[in-house]
Structure formats: structure tokens, C-alpha cells
Amino acid sequence: MQYMLLIYSDEKATAAMPKADVNKMLPAYEAYTKGLQGAGALLAGDRLRPTDSASTVRVRDGKTQVLDGPYAETKEQLGGYYIVEAKDLDAAIDWAARCPGAAHGAVEVRPLWPMTT
Amino acid sequence: MADDDLIDARAEAERVAREGYGRLLAFLASRTHDVAAAEDALADAFAAALVHWPVTGVPRVPEAWLLVTARRRISDEARRRRVRERDRDRLLVAAEEAAARCADEEAIPDERLQLMFACAHPALDPAIRAPLILQTVLGLDAGTIASAFLCAPSAMSQRLVRAKRKIHDAAIPFAVPEATDLPSRLDAVLDAIYVAYGEARLTDEAVHLARVASFLLPGAPEALGLLALMLHLQARGHARRGAEGAYIPLTEQDPTRWDGRLIAEAEGLLLRASAFRRPGRFQLEAAVQSAHAARRQTGRTDWPAILGLYDELLRVTGSVVVAVNRAVALAAVDGPRPALAALDQIADDYRLADYQPYWAARADILAEIGREEAAQAYERAMGLTTDDAVRRFLAERSAAARSRATGTVRLSSVAADEHAVQHRFPGRRQRPS
């Protein structure tokens, strides 16, 4: 099974964090990513730039509309993701719980729905 | 063919259905992750058995016959229901494997516990766990479950379908969790069974589930504790109703009308559980009921012992339901004023607004002090009960309290009784504070 771990956190709070704390987060994510790699569970993953860099696109009546900002204004924002290989939901939840983002924000676990079965 | 044979075949089909359904479903579902498809196949097989067995006689190994029939149905059903091929194939293989085992008279492994852990998985809505276990392990239909949970059958069906789809799509495992996770995950299973017990129409089914859980987990003292608790409550089933169906609270029940056999079994289980020296919520609750049951021998209720058990329960659970029951015990030990103070401490909890035993306990305690607000509290309690006999009982108490505005009323609150089951809360989501 493949799962996407969507990491949500309050990006304003993160931006306001002292640099020393931010610097501590990076090694935590590096270690986590290495852990996933070492277990052969890592399929993909990255950070996302903050939502002020987001653009939302819709096509209506053949016209492309582009809006500045994320699709939904939420208290916590999608800030990164991993795609992991896991035996079942328990294994995926275990990975989600180890993700540094789970300790201050939240990690949503979604099974991938492959296009071909 | 004689009528007797017909009855035998029907009875045998029903026996296999009762005892074998959960086992067969667990075996099929755990290998395919597709609970719904396995249910459909088995339901068809049981329906076929009711048609064929009265004519052909009961097969030598009924379970194997059922699985071979189920296997045939899976292919047909899959075409009709557009089950994905991979799932259909896995289901076919599982049905074949199970049928082969039965034919060899090697009993199919009992995986009902794994099924229960899947159904009470933390990733599923707590409110659907008990209905899901009742449906998958015992084969109850959605309509029966819906009426027990006071919910529209269509809504219940939808929620059950959604939960089964999540088990499949998110690959919720059919497994007994690792030792580190076991205690908390087992709590969820036992909670779900206790919720089922709280639904008056499903008590026998819930006791059966608790028997299965304690049989399959003989090393889990809380599973034994839950069964002991439920048997103690079951033992009082008849004593709870008087002539013309009047409600009789625990403290006024005639102990000779309690079922001594069930009490003895409960005591044995509690003893076995206590040997593990790992007390927990259900063992403590069973111990409270055991203390009440002792009145059968001693003729009196040891309220200080019960209060001590509730103190410990409150420490373990922090539950407001326990706090209500503790207040009732406190009233019996120290009188109504400290008990009222204890209730006042939790009065702000929003969950108590519609918790009937809280209002019944509060009413009794206020009446005992001789306070006029007792009438309003009785009224709240009456408005929240679903049991007409309890409503009449509360109305009588309220009238008695009014007629002697001062003086003492013997305290035998509904809250102290077996209906103060914790079932109203676990299923509800905690409001973020």
C-alpha cells in the first residue's frame, strides 16, 4: 500500500519562530527522511513553499482564472508531504507519528488510489 | 420428508449461523480486506442453506458446505456488483482455503479477535465501532442495530458501509496489535462491546461478544473484567422489574431474585483477572458490582468499600459518569450534603446536560436534603429517560419528595444502578476545549 502523509502546520507561527528553533527542525526532518529511506519506505517527499506563493487555478467558460493564494484559507496549512510504502494503515500511522510535523502540527494520512488496479 | 427433519435443518442452519458466522466472516474478510463482499457471499450461502438443508439434510461439515456455496456466489456477485477483480480473486482464494480446511475437519482458525480489532480501529469513528462489531462478528442486520441505537436504518447502513469502505481502502489491518499498543487498542474493543451492552435490546449479543473476547484473550485481565461486569449486571435482569413491570432500583431489589449462577461465574472471572495484578477500569467496575452482589450473603451493602472503588475508578478514568456514581456512594457514606458538593463540582460539564443518571442522582440528593429544586431535577431526569417504567418510578419519587418537603428519603438512585452504563460518552467526540 502507498500512503501520502500531508503535513499541516501554522506557517505564520513557523515564520515567527526564532531561527535557532527553525534550525533544530531541519535536522529532525533530515533524520526522518533518512529513516524512511533506510527502511525502503520513501517514495517521494518535499517541503512546499508557504501559501503566499500559491496560485489557485480554475477554468470557467473556457477562460482560465488564476487567484492569488491557496485553495482554502485554513488555520493550518499544507507545508509538505511524503509518499510512503507501508504494509497497512497501522504501519503508515507509525510513520506519520514519527514525522517531526506531527509533534506541533498535524499529519493527514491518505491512501493513494492508483489509476490502474 | 418429515417436519422434524425440516425443523432440524433449520435449527442447524441457525446454530451454524450463530456460532460460525463471525468465524467464517473473519476468515474471509481478513484475507481480502473486503468486509462487504465477504458479508454478501456468506449471506447468500446461509440463505441457500435454509433452502437446501431441509431437503438434502444437513451436510456432514456444514461450514465447508457454506464456504463452497459462498465461493460460487462470489463469482456471480462480483460480476453483478462490479467488485474489482483483484478483490474478487482474493475472496475466492480465501473461500477455497477455508472450505478446504473445513473439509479436512481442521477447524478454520478463529480470527474473530482480529476482526474486532479492525472494527474498533482508532482510525474509525468511535460511534460506529460497536455497530460494526455487532454486524460483522454476530451477523446482525443494519435494521436491528439501528433500532437498538435509536437511529434511522438508512443512516446506520450508510455509516456501516462507509466504515467498511475505509477498512478496505485505507488497509486497516486485521491483526492483534503489538504488545506496546495492545492495552489501548484492547480498550477500544472492550469499550465498543460495552457500548453494545448499553443498548438494552442487545445485552445478550454483547455478553456473547465479551465471552468471545475473554475466551480469545485469556491473558487480558480487562477482557475478563468486562465479562464479569456484564454477568453481574445480567444476574439482576429479573430483579430489576417488579409486578406490572415497575422499575426497582438496585438498592431496593430482592437479592434472592438475582441469578446466583451468573454471579458465581462473574466472581470466578474477577478472581482470575485479579491474579494478574493489573487492575483497570472494567475490573474496578466489576468489583463495584461484586460489592453490591455481596448483599445476597451479608444482607447489607458495604458503601465505604464501594466509595473506595469509585475513588480509584475516578483516578483511572477521570470520567464524569464515574463522578456521578461516586457522588451517590458518597451520599450513602457521608450524607447528601458532601454528595451535592461533589455533583456541583462537575455540574458545568456540558455532557451532563442530557445525561439522565446525573439528573436522577441530583434529584435524589436534593430531595434528601429537603431542597425544592429536587422537583426540577426529577423532571429533567424524567424527560431524558427512554424507559417508561423508570419515568413512572421517578414521578413517584418526585411526588414523595414533595409530600414531605422535609425529612429523609432513602437514597436509591437510578444512577447507582446498572443503567448508569458509560455508553453515552465514549462514542461522542470530545469538544475541543
Q: What is the pLDDT of residues B144-156, one digit of tens each?
A: 888 888 788 999 9
Instruction: Tell me if chain A has a CB within 8 Å of the CB of B171.
Output: yes
Contacts 24+ apart (CB under 8 A), B87-93: B87/B32, B87/B33, B87/B34, B87/B37, B87/B168, B88/B37, B90/B31, B90/B32, B90/B33, B90/B34, B91/B28, B91/B31, B91/B32, B91/B34, B91/B37, B91/B38, B91/B41, B93/B31
Q: Is the pLDDT of residue B56 over 90?
A: no
Whether A117 maps to a domain, the answer reads no
pLDDT one-digit tens code per residue, B262-295: 999 999 999 999 999 999 999 999 999 999 999 9
Whether A116 maps to a domain, the answer reads no
Sequence-distant (≥ 6) Cβ neighbours of residue B356 within 8 angstroms: B381, B384, B385, B414
pLDDT one-digit tens code per residue, B9-30: 778 777 777 778 898 999 999 8
Identify the pLDDT of residue B179: 83
Q: Give the HSE-up count for residue B180: Cα atoms under 13 Å, Cβ half-sphere.
A: 1
Identify the pLDDT of residue B423: 38
Task: Please compute the mean of the pLDDT values over residues B91-100 and round it to a whole number.
Answer: 85
Top-level class of domain B302-433: mainly alpha
Q: Is the pLDDT of residue B53 over 60?
A: yes
Sequence-distant (≥ 6) Cβ neighbours of residue B286 within 8 angstroms: B225, B226, B228, B229, B232, B266, B269, B270, B273
Whole-number Å distance between alpha carbons of B316 and A89:
29
Identify the pLDDT of residue B358: 94
User: Please, which pLDDT band fits residue B426 given cuts at 50, 70 and 90?
Assistant: very low
* Residue B84: closest C-alpha in chain A: A117
> Which residue's entry shows cell 438508512?
B154
Whether A10 maps to a domain, the answer reads yes
Identify the pLDDT of residue B304: 97
Identify the pLDDT of residue A89: 96
pLDDT one-digit tens code per residue, B60-85: 888 889 988 988 888 776 666 665 67
CATH classification of the domain holding A92: 3.30.70.1060
> Which residue's entry shows cell 458518597?
B330
Contact A1 B169 (CB under 8 A): no
Question: What is the phi/psi pair of residue A44, to 5°?
Answer: -165, 165
What ipTM score was computed for the predicted complex, to two decimals? 0.83
Task: Please compute the mean of the pLDDT values over residues B115-129 and round it to a whole number.
Answer: 94
Yes or no: say if B314 and B346 are a contact pair by the CB < 8 Å rule.
no
- Share above pLDDT 90 across residues of chain B, in percent, rounded to a whole number: 53
State which of B23-32, B42-51, B136-145, B301-310 shows the largest mean pLDDT: B301-310
Whole-number Å distance between alpha carbons of B75 and A21:
59
* Residue A108: closest C-alpha in chain B: B123
Whole-number Å distance between alpha carbons of B25 and B27:
5
* Residue A88: closest C-alpha in chain B: B171
What value does the mean pLDDT of chain A take?
A: 93
Q: CA-CA-CA-CA torsion for B281, B283, B289, B295, nearest 10 degrees?
A: -140
Write b or e for each residue in B137-153: b if 16 or more Cβ atoms lie within 10 A of its Cβ, otherwise e. bbbbebebbbebbebee
Q: Is the pLDDT of residue B158 over 60?
A: yes
Contact B123 A1 (CB under 8 A): no
**Cα→Cα distances B92→B73, B75, B86, Å:** 10, 8, 10
- For residue A88, the enclosing domain spans 2-111
* Residue A3: closest C-alpha in chain B: B170
Identify the pLDDT of residue B201: 79
Identify the pLDDT of residue B432: 34
Whether A86 maps to a domain, the answer reads yes
- Grid cell listed for B360: 436522577
pLDDT one-digit tens code per residue, B376-415: 999 999 999 888 899 999 999 999 988 866 545 455 555 4
Identify the pLDDT of residue B82: 60
Q: Is the pLDDT of residue B362 over 60?
A: yes
Instruction: Tell me if chain A has a CB within 8 Å of the CB of B170.
Output: yes
Identify the pLDDT of residue A17: 86
Task: Please compute the mean of the pLDDT values over residues A14-42 and round it to a whole number.
Answer: 91
Q: Is the pLDDT of residue A100 over 80?
A: yes
User: Where do the DSSP E strands lie in chain A?
Assistant: 2-9, 42-47, 55-60, 63-68, 77-85, 106-111
Chain B contacts of A109, Cβ < 8 Å? 170
Task: Please compute the mean of the pLDDT values over residues A69-79 and round it to a whole number.
Answer: 92
Chain A contacts of B173, Cβ < 8 Å? 87-90
Identify the pLDDT of residue A117: 53
Q: Which of A90, A109, A117 sits opposite B173 (nearest CB)?
A: A90
Rg (CA), chain A: 16
- Grid cell listed for B18: 450463530
User: What end-to-end distance do the CA atoms of chain B give, in Å?
Assistant: 68
Whole-number Å distance between alpha carbons of B272 and B279:
12
DSSP state of B258: S
Q: Is the pLDDT of residue B431 over 50?
A: no
Residue B344: count other Cβ atoms within 10 Å of its Cβ.
11
- Grid cell listed for B262: 451468573
pLDDT one-digit tens code per residue, A33-73: 999 999 999 999 999 999 999 999 999 999 999 999 999 88
Identify the pLDDT of residue A9: 94
Task: Please compute the mean of the pLDDT values over residues B32-46 and round it to a whole number.
Answer: 89
Overall number of domains in chain A: 1
Residue extent(s) of CATH 1.25.40 domains in chain B = 302-433
Instruction: Tell me if chain A has a CB within 8 Å of the CB of B172.
Output: yes
Chain A contacts of B175, Cβ < 8 Å? 88, 90
Identify the pLDDT of residue B80: 67
Identify the pLDDT of residue B77: 67
Say which residue, B420 or A103, is predicted with more confidence.
Answer: A103
Least confident of A71-85, B136-150, B299-313: B136-150
Whole-number Å distance between alpha carbons of B39 and B138:
11
Question: What is the phi/psi pair of residue B119, to 5°?
Answer: -70, -25
Residue B319: count other Cβ atoms within 10 Å of its Cβ.
17
Whole-number Å distance between alpha carbons of B67 and B42:
8
Secondary structure percentages of chain A, helix, strand, coil, to 5: 35, 35, 30
Whole-number Å distance between alpha carbons of A114 and B127:
30
For residue B59, the SS3 value is coil
What value does the mean pLDDT of chain B take?
A: 86
Instruction: Tell me if chain A has a CB within 8 Å of the CB of B90.
Output: no
